[in-house]
Every structure is written in C-alpha cells, then in structure tokens.
C-alpha cells in the first residue's frame, strides 16, 4: 500500500498542472467528495453490511445475539476507514507537494466536530453520511468566517471545540431522553 501511495504521489507531483487541480473551474476535491458521498450512502443505506454496521455501532451485544459477526464488521469498518484515509493522504500530499508525518493532525478536531454537528453520534449507531457532509460544510463555514475576521488560529480551535462540546452535549441529552421514553 505504501509503495502504491508513493507512486501515486510521485505521478501526481510530476504532472502538476491545472487539469489535476480543477475541472471546469471546480476543484477536483468536489467531484471526488460527491462520488465518495454517493457510494458511501449506497453502502450504508442499501446493503446488509451497512445495516450490520449501524447495528454493531448501536449495540454490539444485541448485534452479536442477532447473528451478526461483530468482529468481522468492526475489522471491515476499520479497513474501509483506513483506505479512505490513505486516499485522502495521497491527495493532500500531491496538493501540498510534500509528505509529513503530522500532516493531518490539525484537521482531526474539525473532522470529529463535522460528524457530530451533522448528527452522527459519538456513542455509535446513529447518523447519516449526508448529515456528516452538511456538518463538514458548517465547520468549514465557521473556519472560513473566523479566518475572514482575521482572528488567530487558536481561536478557531476554541470555537470548533466549543461547537463540538455543544453538539456532543445535545447528542447525550437526546440519547438520554429517548432511552427514558422507552
């Protein structure tokens, strides 16, 4: 996998042109994100694997008792997630033109915040991919707005962290209320 990644980064770097960065004025990331969103939504909403993934995330013990292979589903989910992270890293490395071990460290908070703001539960078993994408847009708008205001980068982390805490609190209260009403 590392060799393939290195070859792709090398190929993308040697052929750096505007055709690799945008299509008709639209950044190349947009069609890639829409494609991943489309196929990810199909995978999660229309397949047995997707239903099993939600079941394992919601209650692993109940899923196991229902005959779902919990360990296999978890391993597959981690492999799928890791593969998407590798692809993201390759595109980021080709965009920046360099590779660094700590390259994605700063966006972890934004990624988690985007998912939680979009309604994906930190406790598992809830959420839709499209809602996480909307959450990502909200976090990007907040980030961009703070940048346009000329505020220091540290303020961005504080605001994003505050939004994450607020969204996680709302999720926890919502879960508590829904379990109390059952």
pLDDT tens digits for range 93-144 = 877 777 887 877 778 888 888 888 888 887 777 888 999 999 999 999 998 9
Least confident of 13-17, 63-67, 170-174: 13-17
Q: What is the pLDDT of residue 3?
A: 55
Q: What is the pLDDT of residue 19?
A: 47
Query: What is the tens place of the pLDDT at every residue in 156-167?
Result: 889 988 988 998
Q: What is the pLDDT of residue 82?
A: 94
- The pTM score is 0.75
Would you kindly state where each structural domain of the chain is located, as residue ranges? 1-101, 104-182
Interval 156-179 mean pLDDT: 85
- E strand residue ranges, the chain: 22-23, 26-27
- CB 84 within 8 Å of CB 36: yes
- Of the candidates 142, 133, 139, the one whose C-alpha atom is nearest the C-alpha of residue 109 is 139
User: Residue 92, exposed/middle/buried by CB under 10 A (0-12, 13-18, 19+)?
Assistant: middle
The count of C-alpha atoms lying within 13 angstroms of the C-alpha of 43, restricted to the half-sphere facing its C-beta, is 11
């Amino acid at each position: 996998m590392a060799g393939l990644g290195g070859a792709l980064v090398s190929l993308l770097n040697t052929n750096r042109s505007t055709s690799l960065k945008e299509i008709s004025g639209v950044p190349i990331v947009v069609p890639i994100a829409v494609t991943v969103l489309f196929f990810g939504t199909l995978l999660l909403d229309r397949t047995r694997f997707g239903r099993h993934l939600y079941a394992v995330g919601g209650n692993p013990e109940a899923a196991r008792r229902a005959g779902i292979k919990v360990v296999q589903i978890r391993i597959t989910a981690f492999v799928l997630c890791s593969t998407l992270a590798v692809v993201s890293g390759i595109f980021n490395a080709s965009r920046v033109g360099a590779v660094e071990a700590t390259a994605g460290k700063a966006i972890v908070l934004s990624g988690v915040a985007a998912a939680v703001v979009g309604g994906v539960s930190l406790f598992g078993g809830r959420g839709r991919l499209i809602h996480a994408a909307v959450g990502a847009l909200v976090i990007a708008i907040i980030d961009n707005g703070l940048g346009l205001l000329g505020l220091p980068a540290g303020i961005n982390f504080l605001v994003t962290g505050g939004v994450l805490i607020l969204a996680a609190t709302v999720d926890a209260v919502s879960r508590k209320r829904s379990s109390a009403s059952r």
